[in-house]
């Protein structure tokens, strides 16, 4: 009689609930880094690419009409785990945020030498301010460049040396970076190319100061830093967390934030923001936090 024993497979250990925003897994595939954490029919090793356009929206599905979840800026790297039907699925290397990006907006990675340090850096066709414009790059875009007089030659043109800094330069004042975006339209998922959202503004500003924050407001609230008691006076750079919202203090009284109320980045009294939220929230302010730079 033939042996009727059938081998079985099971996973041992405590079940973990993984945040899909920062852990790349689907029903059919998962990041190979998760192989010891969860079972998937297939594991994929990341293939590094970078954004070749001024920006690329990351979406929650492989559809241009799907909800935006974040935004890659030019030169930022994206770890591709799957390519199908013109879409790349994976995560942004800087914050490990998971999403879909149109594959034609990605290219082979290069080593950045400089980063755009103004709200918008113009790309000229020649190393001259009188030459034709070819486009622009947003704050935080990373470029590989070589100097030509007062310009840096990049792929596709030239940018003025006053619009960039060395790639690893840091600022001591993230609020000054946030202030560059005053008046920029509010854009859900945006990080500074044509629009920006509240957590994107805080993330980009802090990144310029060398602090790598997570992408979303709740994730930023969980980032380890100093919680401020109510009796401690606020100061420039303190982070204020609201229900589903976040902003930076400009000084003891005023907040800079990207918000859907004004549909723009604005500076206004913190008390005004609290007054708007109070009718719908028992705790308009969830946390007052300070990051030591």
pLDDT in single tens digits along all 293 residues of the chain? 444 444 444 455 554 689 999 999 999 999 999 999 999 999 999 999 999 999 999 999 999 999 999 999 999 999 999 999 999 999 999 999 999 999 999 999 999 999 999 999 999 999 999 999 999 999 999 999 999 999 999 999 999 999 999 999 999 999 999 999 999 999 999 999 999 999 999 999 999 999 999 999 999 999 999 999 999 999 999 999 999 999 999 999 999 999 999 999 999 999 999 999 999 999 999 999 999 87
CA–chain centroid gap for 198, Å, is 11
Fold matches, 30-107 and 174-290: no
Question: Residue ranges of the domains in the chain?
Answer: 30-107, 114-166, 174-290
* Domain made up of 174-290: CATH architecture: Alpha-Beta Complex (3.90)
User: Exposed e or buried b for every residue in 141-163, given b needs 16+ CB within 10 A?
Assistant: bbbbbeeeeebbbbeebbbbeeb
pLDDT at 4: 45
Backbone phi and psi for residue 279, each to the nearest 5 degrees, phi listed first:
-60, -25
pTM metric for this prediction: 0.93
pLDDT at 123: 98
pLDDT at 17: 82
Query: Do 240 and 217 contact (CB within 8 A), yes or no?
Result: no
Long-range contacts of 167-173 (CB under 8 A, 24+ apart): 167/112, 167/113, 167/114, 167/115, 167/142, 169/115, 169/117, 170/208, 170/209, 170/210, 171/208, 171/209, 172/209, 172/293, 173/209, 173/236, 173/237
The CATH number assigned to the domain with range 114-166 reads: 2.30.30.40
SS3 state at 275: helix
Q: Which of 248, 212, 165, 197 is nearest to 71 (CA)?
A: 197
Rg (CA), the chain: 22
Query: Do 245 and 257 contact (CB within 8 A), yes or no?
Result: yes
The domain defined by 30-107 folds into SH3 type barrels. (2.30.30)
Distance from C-alpha of 170 to C-alpha of 252, rounded to nearest angstrom? 24
User: Exposed e or buried b for every residue in 264-274, given b needs 16+ CB within 10 A?
Assistant: bbbbbebeebe
């Amino acid at each position: 009689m033939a042996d009727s024993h059938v081998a079985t497979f099971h996973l041992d250990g405590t079940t973990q609930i993984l945040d899909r925003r920062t852990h790349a897994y689907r029903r059919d595939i998962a990041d190979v880094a998760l192989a010891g954490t969860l079972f998937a029919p297939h594991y994929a090793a990341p293939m590094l690419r970078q954004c070749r356009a001024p920006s690329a929206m990351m979406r929650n599905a492989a559809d241009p009409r799907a909800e935006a979840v974040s935004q890659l800026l030019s030169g930022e790297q994206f770890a591709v785990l799957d390519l199908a039907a013109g879409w790349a699925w994976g995560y942004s290397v800087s914050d490990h945020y998971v999403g879909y990006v149109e594959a034609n907006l990605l290219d082979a990675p290069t080593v950045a030498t400089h980063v755009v340090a103004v709200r918008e850096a113009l790309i000229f066709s020649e190393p001259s301010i009188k030459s034709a414009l070819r486009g622009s790059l947003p704050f935080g875009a990373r470029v590989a460049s070589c100097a030509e007089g007062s310009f840096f030659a990049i792929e596709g043109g030239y940018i003025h040396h006053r619009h960039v800094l060395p790639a690893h330069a840091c600022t001591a004042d993230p609020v000054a970076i946030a202030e560059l975006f005053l008046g920029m339209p509010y854009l859900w998922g945006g990080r500074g190319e044509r629009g920006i959202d509240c957590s994107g503004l805080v993330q980009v500003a802090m990144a310029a100061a060398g602090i790598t924050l997570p992408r979303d407001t709740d994730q930023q609230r969980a980032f380890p830093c100093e919680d401020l008691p109510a009796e401690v006076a606020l100061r420039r750079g303190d982070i204020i967390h609201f229900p589903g919202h976040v902003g930076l203090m400009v000084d003891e009284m005023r907040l800079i934030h990207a918000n859907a109320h004004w549909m723009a980045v604005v500076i206004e009294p913190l008390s005004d923001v609290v007054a708007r939220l109070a009718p719908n929230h028992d705790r308009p302010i969830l946390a007052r936090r300070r990051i030591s730079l």
